Amino acid sequence: MTQDAVPMVELWRADLLESLHFGHAVVCDAGGEILHSWGDPQALIYPRSSCKMIQALPLITSGAADAHGLTTEQLALSCASHSGAAIHTTRVASWLADLGLTDDDLRCGPQEPTDRPAMEAMIRANESPCQIHNNCSGKHAGFLTLNKHLGAGPDYVEPDHAVQLAVRAAFEDATDMESPGFGIDGCSAPNFQTTLHGLARAMSWFATATDRNDSQSNAAARLVAAMVTHPELVAGEERACTRLMRAMGGKVAVKTGAEGVFIAIVPERRLGIALKITDGATRASEAALATILVELGLIAAEDPVAQSLMCPPQLNRRGIPAARIAPASGLSL
């Protein structure tokens, strides 16, 4: 996967290039063909949380979402890597209660909130995080909704469980390729391998969903609409996904994943974007995605959100600018 990776993001301290992040990226057109690429489009990756909208497809296509009256907020949460803020955890807890389930029915594991107010409140109350604080609890509430609809067993994260078999089928349909394998994600669910091209092709399929009228495409369109309608639920305040979707006025859906993966879905331009930073650095994936969005004319280079991600200030302990991040020159179109 590191073979043929290209420089994407630099860190300069004074006049010395101190660090350099390499990666791969693909922009696909409406037909899933490569419009632009950097590095190796056939690099095999785990999409991690960047593909949650694919994992949520069976929730809708099975009829489970409508049978349980899921709202657009819940559909957004099913695609989320949230911060564990109150706006996230109260909604997930209510969703579980509506299903007649509790935190114990989740299989994602507990996680400390990354939302600072939520974490500080938990410390003051001498409480420990539970599974609804896990950034993937919305996705897992979606899994549990599908599981209840299917009448399957409780261990819905097992690779041979009906829920995950449905997810794999949806994943292979969206990427238009057979997945060569899977790994276990941080939330215990299988994460299926694909290529950068496969992931970008899936995102262009989401971007063109309203062109079609089949059940899978209708589900994709609903999920994209939910994400851009509720960007605060997909990630959280001060998070890159939320800030970018707001800055672009809901015209582009974006989703990060662990280990330097990031995607974008651009319905107006009918484009899909996927990138992977080979060393897994989030600072680099955010900078690279923001740069590609600028290069494609989807957000202005001078936009404060774009600037804060492409060129985030590197401050020392006294708050003094000490270094600077910059996109590598090769990222320009």
Domains of the chain, with CATH numbers?
6-331 (3.40.710)
Instruction: Please report the pLDDT score of residue 268 as a whole number.
Output: 97
- Containing 222, the helix (H) or strand (E) segment is helix 215-229
Instruction: Please report the pLDDT score of residue 333 as a whole number.
Output: 84
In the predicted model, residues of the chain with pLDDT beneath 50 are: none
**Phi-psi domain of 192 (left: phi exceeds 0; alpha: psi -120 through 50; beta: other):** beta
- 16 DSSP β-pair partners: 13
Phi/psi for 169 (5° steps) reads -60, -45
Closest CA relative to residue 223, chosen from 24, 13, 72: 72
Instruction: Please report the pLDDT score of residue 2 as a whole number.
Output: 79
Closest CA relative to residue 232, chosen from 224, 223, 242, 222: 242
Pairing outcome for strands 194-195 and 190-192: unpaired
User: How is 238-253 classified by DSSP, letter by letter?
Assistant: T-HHHHHHHHTTTS-E
User: How is 154-176 classified by DSSP, letter by letter?
Assistant: S-TTSTTSHHHHHHHHHHHHHHT
Instruction: Please report the pLDDT score of residue 310 as a whole number.
Output: 97
